[in-house]
């Protein structure tokens, strides 16, 4: 079995599951309780928070636990909008964000906020000139993802940070759900960013747990109000087993990160170099530093993405159409649409997404199976090899 769908979710690491189990069995008190079981749970909660903060170069009070990436994104966008309503009603984001950002923005539009979606070039990347031109006196938030979940583009976060240094009142948010552990932590945890979203299940922690980094001194309104956990900012009894497991998963992820990133890049390169010259293939992810090491997206023109996914599944190779969210809805990829890729090509796209456990031998096996399947794809394809174009 070859699992190449790590951007959808990762398998929980055995050590991480062991931590989850141990905490569930042994440290089951409520961190808010005054007695010793509460104190024990509170201590572990804060220890986990400190461990995560240390790994990211943040302080303990700047880490706030959530239920995952979707909550983190919703919170920063809507929490900023509520908190800063008196200062402005304009938000800037990109045309290629995850729906957790996009749909939060759309909801705000219905409430009278104004949103600018920065367009992207043929690589799915925004332009800094467009960003500069979009900023208004009423702008309260700029939200830019670190790594695109569909094709792996890394956005120019350092340049965005530089621009925003001249606008200290604007909140700068990065959705780093696909970016953590991929060798770009300096770009993400830059000296200007105010909020960063992380999701545990993308790095071998359990599903349903995540956190945001929130720069000290910045304020967003809570979306979940109630018992006042997380410094009154995110109510709800803390999911301590998952939090402790996530802290462990993050430590394991970042241990020896450069070697892991390098291996993922080699695997991606091996597949990329193999498939790119087949006549029906159009590649979208480039094989360079402007793209994450673990995501490779390409189309086999004339064959539906779902057909390709199931054909590989018969060989126990698990890949996806461009994102887990869009695949069951049979939607064209929103990133490829924003890149102005025609729908008949974008619906033929598939995504391979790696993690640190994949191997070059798996890449070779993928390539062998690809060669076998390509003959079927040629028959299925309604296009010809001469027809349009490499994107």
Least separation, in Å, of the C-beta of 146 and ligand PLP?
A: 8
For ligand PLP, which residue of 76, 100, 108, 339 counts as binding (CB under 6 A)? 100
User: Rounded distance, CA 222 to CA 36, Å?
Assistant: 29
Least separation, in Å, of the C-beta of 100 and ligand PLP?
A: 5
For ligand PLP, which residue of 145, 233, 245, 247 counts as binding (CB under 6 A)? 145
Least separation, in Å, of the C-beta of 152 and ligand PLP?
A: 11
Kindly tell me which of 70 and 282 has the beta carbon lying closer to ligand PLP: 70
Are 117 and 95 in contact, with CB atoms under 8 Å apart? yes
Are 226 and 203 in contact, with CB atoms under 8 Å apart? no
The catalytic residue among 134, 325, 369, 380 is 325
Least separation, in Å, of the C-beta of 76 and ligand PLP?
A: 11
Taking contact as CB under 6 A, which single stretch among the options 31-39, 174-182, 183-191, 218-226 is the one that binds ligand PLP? Answer: 174-182
Kindly tell me which of 98 and 173 has the beta carbon lying closer to ligand PLP: 98
The reply to whether 300 sits near ligand PLP by the rule CB under 6 A is no
The reply to whether 178 sits near ligand PLP by the rule CB under 6 A is yes
> Which phi-psi region, left, alpha or beta, contains residue 112 (left: φ > 0; alpha: ψ -120 to 50)?
left
Element (H, E) at 213: strand 210-214
Q: How many CB atoms lie within 10 A of CB 380?
A: 16
Mark 186-225 with x for binding to ligand PLP (rule: CB under 6 A) and - for no binding.
-------------x-x--------x---------------
Q: Indicate the pairing of strand 63-66 with strand 210-214.
A: antiparallel
DSSP letter assigned to residue 141? E
Q: What token pair was written down for 13?
A: 């690491």
User: Which residue is nearest to ligand PLP, using beta carbons?
Assistant: 69
The reply to whether 181 sits near ligand PLP by the rule CB under 6 A is no
Are 78 and 108 in contact, with CB atoms under 8 Å apart? yes
Q: Write a three-state SS string for 311-340.
A: HHHCCCEECECCCHHHHCCCCCCHHHHHCC
Is residue 325 among the annotated active site residues? yes
The reply to whether 149 sits near ligand PLP by the rule CB under 6 A is yes
User: Rounded distance, CA 329 to CA 126, Å?
Assistant: 27
Active site residues: 325
> By the criterion CB under 6 A, which residues form the site for ligand PLP?
68-70, 73, 98, 100, 145, 149, 175, 177-178, 199, 201, 210
């Amino acid at each position: 079995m070859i699992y190449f769908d790590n951007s959808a979710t990762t398998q929980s690491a055995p050590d991480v599951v062991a931590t989850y189990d141990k905490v569930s069995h042994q440290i089951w008190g409520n961190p808010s309780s005054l007695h010793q079981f509460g104190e024990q749970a509170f201590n572990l909660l804060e220890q986990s928070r400190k461990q995560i903060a240390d790994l990211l170069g943040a302080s303990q009070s700047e880490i706030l636990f959530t239920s995952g990436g979707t909550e983190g994104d919703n919170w920063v966008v809507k929490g900023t909008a509520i908190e800063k309503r008196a200062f402005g009603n304009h938000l800037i984001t990109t045309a290629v964000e995850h729906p957790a950002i996009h749909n939060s923005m759309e909801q705000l539009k219905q409430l009278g906020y104004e949103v600018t979606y920065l367009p992207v070039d043929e690589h799915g990347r925004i332009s800094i000139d467009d960003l500069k031109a979009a900023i208004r006196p009423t702008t309260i938030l700029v939200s830019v993802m670190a790594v695109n979940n569909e094709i792996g583009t890394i956005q120019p976060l350092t340049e965005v940070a530089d621009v925003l240094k001249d606008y200290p009142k604007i909140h700068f948010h990065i959705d780093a759900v696909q970016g953590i552990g991929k060798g770009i932590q300096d770009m993400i945890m830059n000296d200007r960013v105010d909020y960063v979203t992380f999701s545990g299940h993308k790095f071998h922690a359990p599903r349903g747990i995540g956190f945001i980094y929130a720069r000290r001194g910045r304020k967003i309104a809570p979306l979940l109000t109630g018992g006042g956990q997380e410094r009154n900012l995110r109510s709800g009894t803390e999911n301590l087993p998952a939090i402790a497991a996530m802290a462990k998963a993050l430590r394991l992820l970042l241990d020896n990160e450069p070697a892991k990133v390098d291996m993922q890049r080699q695997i991606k390169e091996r597949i990329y170099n193999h498939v790119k010259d087949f006549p029906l293939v159009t590649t979208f992810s480039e094989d360079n530093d402007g793209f994450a090491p673990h995501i490779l997206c390409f189309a086999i023109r004339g064959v539906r993405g779902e057909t390709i996914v199931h054909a590989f599944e018969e060989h126990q190779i698990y890949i996806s159409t461009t994102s887990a969210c869009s695949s069951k809805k049979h939607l064209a990829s929103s990133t490829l649409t924003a890149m102005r890729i025609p729908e008949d090509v974008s619906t033929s796209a598939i995504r391979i997404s790696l993690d640190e456990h994949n191997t070059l031998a798996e890449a070779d096996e993928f390539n062998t199976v690809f060669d076998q399947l390509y003959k079927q794809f040629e028959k299925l394809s309604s296009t010809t090899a001469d027809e349009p174009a490499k994107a």
